[in-house]
Amino acid sequence: MKKLTALLVAGLMVSSLAVTANAYWEPEEAFQEVKSTIGKQTVAWNPDGTITDGEYYKVEIDPTWISYAINDNDTDAGLEYAKSITPELYMSWDESNIYCATRYEVPKGHENLWDGDPASMWYSGAVQFNYANFDEVASEYRLEYGVGLSSDTGDTLYTVWADGAGTGFTPSEENAKVWLDGNTLTYETKVAWEDFADEDNTAGKEGLGFNFCLVWSVGEGQDYVHIQLAEGCTGNGKHAENFAQVTLGGPIEVAPAYTYPNSGADGNLINGTVIGNETGWGDNADAGAAAAFDGNPATFFDPLGVGDGFCGMDAGESYILDKVVILSREGWNDRFPGAMIQGSNDGENWTTLWTSDTTGTNPDYYTVHRLFSVPLLQRDQPRRRG
């Protein structure tokens, strides 16, 4: 009887949340083809507003996975606004829970006015999370709940629109939190497998999976704007068979975050705009000027030819530096002699501040001391390729 009651309530909510017939709907290109694999969690879940590697793994969202639902009040403007928002999605899992985080910016500002009626969060200012068994296609067999941050009181709001498993799932701060920083929203959530999943084909084991749909709901009041990952929640009915298919994978090795060695006693660096050749030898974009400033010791600027090309930084203001550190190209230390550091105040007239007269020191950084006068623009100009 409990199961039947849950299904009946879910059905009533579905009818009340259906998008109006004269609303605008743009389906995703990859209809019923949205698929991804997520990694197993290696860092304990800690909802603190920071998305940490191992706690979550980024899901790269293909634009063809996104659908849009806009109400009929100024639809063109609403669709333009929806497409200006590019949410980020992060997920992971362990034997007990599925974890989901999302971060996105709302340029028009955050608005959620539903303190007195949390079920109306679907209009705007909230995220709708939808989970279903991998092989479950009936619309009523899903978990659909919303989380939002009140723009009036600052409280976190929760509601459940569908509890297909009949577990009585009630979200709270124990499993869902929201942070607002300027116009950027960050959501962190977890859901126990038992709240929606069949352990025989979905829950908590590598190689299994589940159906998933996510709706980022923004807009003003009832002028809703919905950005949706995979169809199946708004705009075209409540169909779990149209959700994304998520497969559980093993832990994912995350590439290290590269950093520069300190270039001063206080660790300050020159920041600015990269200048120089956009591409390197062989018209290779990966060997262009930006490669010299990405902090990755495995990448390098490779000039177009002998004495042809430079990489540099437009600092935007004058600096005085006492040292610069340079990492020569691995395996090519003998090409380091003749490399130059030059500076300019106008980008046209350049002064040579230093010229290398020694071989490179890779894998160690080479330190250039006593750069007493460094003008607005600084560049490195190798005399030999590499």
pLDDT at 17 over 50: no
The alpha helices in the chain, defined as continuous H runs, are: 2-17, 75-84
- Cβ-contact 217, 111 below 8 angstroms: no
- Give the number of residues written for the chain: 386
Indicate the average pLDDT of the chain.
Answer: 83
pLDDT at 149 over 70: yes
- Cβ-contact 131, 197 below 8 angstroms: yes
| Amino acid type, 28 | E
Per DSSP, the residues of 262-282 read PSSTT------EEEE-SSBGG
Per DSSP, the residues of 236-264 read S---GGGSEEEEE----PPPPPP-PPPSS
* Ranges 28-32, 216-220, 309-313, 382-386: which has the least confidence: 382-386
pLDDT digit string (tens) for 319-348? 776 778 888 888 889 988 988 888 888 888
- Cβ-contact 84, 107 below 8 angstroms: yes
pLDDT digit string (tens) for 118-140? 999 999 999 999 999 887 666 66
* pLDDT at residue 41 in the model: 97
Band of pLDDT at residue 205, cut at 50, 70 and 90: very high
pLDDT at 249 over 90: yes
Band of pLDDT at residue 273, cut at 50, 70 and 90: confident
Q: Which domains, from first to last, does the chain contain?
A: 2-248 (2.60.40.1190), 273-381 (2.60.120.260)
Per DSSP, the residues of 123-182 read SSSEEEEEEEETT---TTSSEEEEEEE-TTT--EEEEEEEETT-S-----TTTEEEEEET
Evaluated on CA atoms 349, 355, 359, 363, the torsion sign reads negative
* pLDDT at residue 339 in the model: 85
**Alpha-carbon distances, residue 264 vs 99, 144, 317, 368 (angstroms):** 41, 53, 18, 12
pLDDT digit string (tens) for 167-198? 999 999 999 999 999 999 999 999 999 999 98
* pLDDT at residue 282 in the model: 84
- Cβ-contact 277, 346 below 8 angstroms: no
- Cβ-contact 229, 66 below 8 angstroms: yes
How far apart (Å, rounded) are the C-alpha atoms in residues 294 and 169? 46
* Ranges 122-126, 267-271, 355-359, 360-364: which has the least confidence: 267-271
Evaluated on CA atoms 373, 377, 383, 385, the torsion sign reads positive
* pLDDT at residue 22 in the model: 46
How far apart (Å, rounded) are the C-alpha atoms in residues 259 and 314? 20
* Ranges 2-11, 289-298, 342-351, 359-368: which has the least confidence: 2-11
